[in-house]
Each structure stands twice: as C-alpha cells, then as structure tokens.
Amino acid sequence: RVDILVNNAGITGMAEGFGPQDPENASLNSWKKVHAVNAEGTFLGCKYAIIHMKNHGGSIVNISSRSGNVGLGSMAAYASSKAMVRNHTKSVALWCCSNRYPIRCNSVHPAAIDTPLWDPIVSGPSKKQKIEKMVQEIPMGHMGEPEDVAYAVLYLASEESKFITGAELLVDGGILAGSAASPGAIHPKENI
C-alpha cells in the first residue's frame, strides 16, 4: 500500500560533469540525462502512485525548484525539467480530481537551500564571496535549511492540507515574491 509519494530525485547536470548546460552549448545527451532523472522520474513516480493510490487515496508531493518557475540561461535543462515537474503536478491533480480519485498532488519549489547541490555552482577561490552575494539577494537574508523543505513536504503530505491539490509551495526565503527589476524591493531601507 502506498499512501504518500515524495518525488525528490533531481540533478543539475553541472555537479554530474555533463558539460555546459546553456541552450546553445548543452549536448542533447546531457539534456536527456537531466530530463531522465528530473522529468521522467517524476512522471513515472506519479503514474505508478496513482495506480496504487486511486482506491484508498493518498498524497503525491513533487519537488520542483524555484528554477521551475523562472528560466536559467546557464542551466536550461535543469530549469525546463523542473518546469515540467511544476506543470505535471497540476495535470496529475486535475486528472485525479476528474476521475474522483482521492489523491492530492502538489509541488514544493525550494531555492537557496544550504545543501551540497550548491558546491559546483559556488566552488572556487571566490566561494565565500559567491555565497555572500547570493544571500544578499534573499529577502529573508539567509539560506534555507533542508528541514525547511522537509516541513513543507510534511504539511502537503499530511491531512492538514486535505483541501489543497495542484498547488505549488515556494520555500525560497521570499526570492520570487520580489524582483531584481524592482530596486529596493529586497532590502528597501538600505536603498534610501
């Protein structure tokens, strides 16, 4: 019996050494590898969870990313695969509702979570400066912790969220609430 599925597997392509990940220079092989884990893995997890949950109900929580909501020029395969997770979550939610399956499907969109995923992105002699610059762009002023994502998943997996399906929960310290295009939106008192 399956009551809860959390689709959490994900790769960036950078950490795995797949070479350039931008739209111009990424190889098709690299693109396919990133999508095989991030997109196809989520598709297959949802497909088989529905089969096992449709009679008794359950909750599917897909881990997307802030990058699933916005593009990333240097990590196009990752961003597009996480956008697929975002949209597929909504499709699964609507499919289950239209068939009266008692299954909820939601997504969590983390950003700036302090995990080893960042190591290849901020590596090098200027690692400390790269992290400091990144933290300055987070409205809450610090990186998130893995537990922040875990508690979001716990909520969406639990009965406390029984009337929520097809939703996306941002765990990003307010990054997507503002915009770099809005001067002063992140730290307004510092810009006066």
List the catalytic residues. 78
Return d(Cα 66, Cα 83) in angstroms, integer.
9
- The torsion angle over the Cα atoms of residues 59, 51, 80 and 178, rounded to 10 degrees, is -20
Return d(Cα 39, Cα 60) in angstroms, integer.
15
Structure tokens given for 157: 């997996």
Distances (CA, A) of 2 to 6, 47, 55, 58: 11, 13, 11, 7
Return d(Cα 170, Cα 192) in angstroms, integer.
29
Q: DSSP code of 13? A: S
